[in-house]
Amino acid sequence: MRYLTADFLYPLNQKPIEKGVLQITKSGIIVNIYSDRRLVDKNKLEFFKGILCPGFVNAHCHLELSYLHQVIKQHTGLIGFFKSIKKNRDLFSQKEILSCIDKAESQMLKNGIVGVGDICNTKNTLSQKLNNNLTYYNFIETFQVDDSKVLSTFNNALEIKKAFTQKNQRAAIVPHSPFTVPPSLMKKILNELTSSDVSSIHINESIYEKELFEKKQGQLLDWLVSIGADQKIWKKRNTEYDILKKIKQNNWILVHNTYSDYIEFENCYYCTCPKANLYIENQLPNYSIFNVDKLCVGTDSLASNNSLSILEELLIIKKNSHFSTDELLRIASKNGAEALGFSKLGTFDIGKKPGVNLIKDFNSLNLEVII
């Protein structure tokens, strides 16, 4: 048994506790929380300088793209980013891809991440995830602009999902974005989803997304036409949110929201990836529009980020918002765990195994993983 105490405990299910004590098993299960370290035998206490908080949840990652680290230039814009991925994705061996996945997961562990919402277009990450180093929710992503290829795309997604679920990995088939999923594919996705599934979609990541749906013109439209897109994707949709408006299911995570002006769905979770937004579009969301209880954070991939660090993401949010430390940590841990259905993560609750991070200095990114 361990008794951890610091300047402050941030349980995230209650107010921060000054000089509180976290009683925890050696395996990381929370046994009790004491509001005053004087309630515990001093000889049993482990003293830390800084903040103790639950492990972080990376609510949006593309682990399988880790091999593209430092391959794609910054500030290409979203269309340029897509083109660069297509240009470079076949230049690496399977051995190189798997090695990069292993190194990227190790980086997340080192950076205090305990849970991940991971986008999967292939089975490449499955073998790594079977090591059970982290808790994963696997979003089997579909991306298909050609209506004639919808069936083969969906069947491939079903095959990938089956590979994950047969190994007891949680997985759901999800759409990539409003402009890369025709109505016929979206219908198949919705028919496959169950009430317990979590879904994810990239939305408002490009300034040209609004122009595509509202004006039926612009660079995004030109690019879609150039790759053979069916106009059904945008013809009957007048906003980027139309694809989701008829869906009754609430457990969606709307990712990026870089150019969102307002919150369309109060019951959904929203995920921000500030470093990736700066890397690709050199733009950040307007954080004042979000309900802090429904906002989580992700790193996106190493194709669009120089690291997989939630603390680095938080520091950018901190500098561009009015969120308190407690709110920032809820964004980093509690909200992501709730969004992804990770019931044992996110808060210091008795019986949970959320991991324990020590933040020695927020501004200098000084972090130590305690458990």
| pLDDT at residue 246 is higher than 80 | no
**DSSP state at residue 283:** -
Q: What is the mean pLDDT of residues 31-58?
A: 96
* pLDDT value of residue 285: 97
The mean of the pLDDT values for the chain is 95
Name the β-bridge partners of 366. Answer: 361
Measure the CA–CA gap between 282 and 262, rounded to whole angstroms. Answer: 20
DSSP E strands in 223-355: the ranges are 252-256, 269-272, 295-297
- Contact call for residues 253 and 199 (beta carbons, < 8 A): yes
* pLDDT value of residue 83: 94
Residues 151 and 223 in one domain: yes
Q: What percent of the chain has pLDDT over 70?
A: 99
Q: What is the mean pLDDT of residues 19-23?
A: 97
253, part of any domain: yes
Q: What is the mean pLDDT of residues 165-169?
A: 98
Residues 165 and 237 in one domain: yes
| pLDDT at residue 248 is higher than 70 | no
249-304 residue pLDDT tens: 668 999 999 999 988 888 899 999 999 999 999 999 999 999 999 999 999 999 99
| pLDDT at residue 62 is higher than 90 | yes
350, part of any domain: no
363 vs 302: which has the higher pLDDT? 302
Residues 321 and 337 in one domain: yes
- Contact call for residues 13 and 347 (beta carbons, < 8 A): yes
Residues 30 and 142 in one domain: no
How are the residues of the chain apportioned to helix, strand and coil, as percentages rounded to the nearest 5? Answer: 35, 25, 40
Whole-Å CA distances, 222 to 76, 214, 232? 16, 15, 15
Range of the domain at 171: 56-345
300, part of any domain: yes
CATH number at residue 153: 3.20.20.140
Nearest-5° Cα angle at 32, 28 to 36: 120
353, part of any domain: no
Residues 94 and 150 in one domain: yes
* pLDDT value of residue 263: 87
Residues 191 and 110 in one domain: yes
* pLDDT value of residue 243: 87
Residues 46 and 132 in one domain: no
Q: Is 83 exposed, middle or buried (0-12, 13-18, 19+ CB in 10 A)?
A: middle
Residues 184 and 281 in one domain: yes
Q: What is the mean pLDDT of residues 135-161?
A: 97
Stated pTM of the model: 0.97
Residues 43 and 189 in one domain: no
Residues 10 and 148 in one domain: no
* Count: domains in the chain: 2
Residues 44 and 77 in one domain: no
* pLDDT value of residue 249: 62
Q: What is the mean pLDDT of residues 342-369?
A: 95
159, part of any domain: yes
289, part of any domain: yes
Residues 239 and 316 in one domain: yes
* pLDDT value of residue 363: 87
